């Protein structure tokens, strides 16, 4: 077993212990994937000037890269408790976990 495969397995094991929510990922093509994700409401601060900040509220979904096998594309969908969340953009990808902004 390689170090990379051990890290992928560990990431998948961690995702099974998220404050997890069972979800279904609906790719543009191919079969749907059932996995555990972590859904959060977050605040993204955007500097607007030297003396102020603005912010936006966003919903993010964190998933183990090994569970889907790739970074998801904008427009693809996660379904959680019969609510569909469309991927807007990828925020982070550390090669083990991927965080996406959804709408």
pTM: 0.76
pLDDT at 49 over 70: no
pLDDT at 54 over 70: no
Going by pLDDT thresholds of 50, 70 and 90, the confidence category of residue 90 is very high
pLDDT at 76 over 90: yes
pLDDT of residue 52: 61
Domains of the chain: 3-102 (2.40.10)
**Vertex 92: Cα angle to 79 and 27 (nearest 5):** 35
For residues 94 and 63, what is the distance between their CA atoms, to the nearest angstrom? Answer: 11
Q: What is the average pLDDT across 89-100?
A: 95
User: CA dihedral defined by 2, 35, 72, 87, rounded to 10 degrees?
Assistant: -150
Tens-place pLDDT, residues 4-37: 788 777 777 766 665 678 999 999 999 999 999 9
């Amino acid at each position: 077993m390689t170090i990379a495969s051990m890290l992928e397995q560990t990431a998948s094991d961690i995702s099974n212990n998220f404050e997890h929510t069972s979800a279904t990922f609906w790719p543009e093509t191919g079969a749907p994937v059932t996995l555990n994700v972590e859904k959060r409401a977050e605040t993204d601060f955007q500097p607007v000037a030297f003396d102020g900040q603005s912010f936006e509220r966003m919903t993010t979904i964190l998933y183990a890269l090994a569970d889907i096998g790739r970074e998801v594309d904008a427009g693809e969908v996660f379904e959680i408790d019969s609510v569909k969340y469309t991927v807007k953009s990828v925020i982070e990808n550390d090669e083990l976990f991927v965080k996406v902004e959804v709408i």
